[in-house]
Amino acid sequence: MTAPPVPLATLIDDLVAANRILAGLAVVDGFGHVSVRHPHQPDRYLLSRSRAPEQIERDDIMTFDLASNAQGGDTRNGYLERFIHGEIYARRPDVTAVVHAHSAPVVPFAASSVPLRPIFHMSGFLAAGAPIFEMRERFGMTDLLVRSREQGAALADTLGTGHVVLMRGHGFCAVGGSIEQAVYRAYYTQQNAELQQRAIALGGDVAYLSPEEGSMADTTNTGVIGRPWALWKARFAP
Ligand code: MN
């Protein structure tokens, strides 16, 4: 049995909370964004106007089509990189929410030949891979921002069927089947990057989760995702 769609007003509240939670967890700062697919119109998504996540309120939320055009005659400035969201939603019907961030601990893994791999059960989802999007391959010299549908599409192609894509010289994106899951994955991608770097610094061999362990841990954690979400909401978005 499929759960009934979440009411739009509830989802907007959750999206505002997600922005404040990601800021509280230092996944985003003055930059970075999180979106959610429209609950009743799958070819639309909700994303704030261009504003720092910690300051976002209900009225800041705009609606975009999958070409990332603002709907309803809304002329406010959207994020330059909103194409990340539209192009991922267009290619991934299973994705309901997208986080994009420049989290400092993650950036080294987007620049290094050392792959980001799951070091503990909380980030088992990384067993599905964390490919690196290399902007230069198709677009040459740029300011690294995903400024067009074509660039967003190339990023979404690199993400493929995975949960996380790293962006060389820039940051990363995490996706999920709910706002809670996308926020969870963004936070634990950041945690994993910190812990993996510490494990590498110890100097010995590092044992990562196997694909089977990662997949089983991801299933378990998805089932209890409401617990950290409730805590984060109470702490950062009361
Ligand atoms: Mn960015």
**In the chain, what are the domain boundaries?**
8-236
Q: How far is the CA of 162 from the centre of ligand 1 (A)?
A: 19
- CATH number for 8-236: choose from 3.40.50.300, 3.40.50.720, 3.40.225.10, 3.40.190.10: 3.40.225.10
Q: What is the pLDDT of residue 3?
A: 64
pTM above 0.95, yes or no: yes
Residues serving a catalytic function are 81
Q: What is the pLDDT of residue 6?
A: 83
Q: How far is the CA of 80 from the centre of ligand 1 (A)?
A: 9
Q: What is the pLDDT of residue 2?
A: 58
Q: What is the pLDDT of residue 1?
A: 47
pLDDT along the chain (238 residues), means of 10: 78 98 98 97 98 98 98 98 98 98 98 98 98 98 98 98 98 98 98 98 98 96 96 96
Q: How far is the CA of 228 from the centre of ligand 1 (A)?
A: 26
Q: How far is the CA of 218 from the centre of ligand 1 (A)?
A: 26
SS (H, E, C) the chain: CCCCCCCHHHHHHHHHHHHHHHHHCCCCCCCCEEEEECCCCCCEEEEEECCCHHHCCHHHEEEEECCCCECCCCCCCECCCCHHHHHHHHHCCCCCEEEEECCCCCHHHHHCCCCCCCCCHHHHHHHHCCCEECCHHHHCCCCCCCCCHHHHHHHHHHHCCCCEEEECCCEEEEEECCHHHHHHHHHHHHHHHHHHHHHHHHCCCCCCCCHHHHHHHHHHHHHCCHHHHHHHHHHHCC
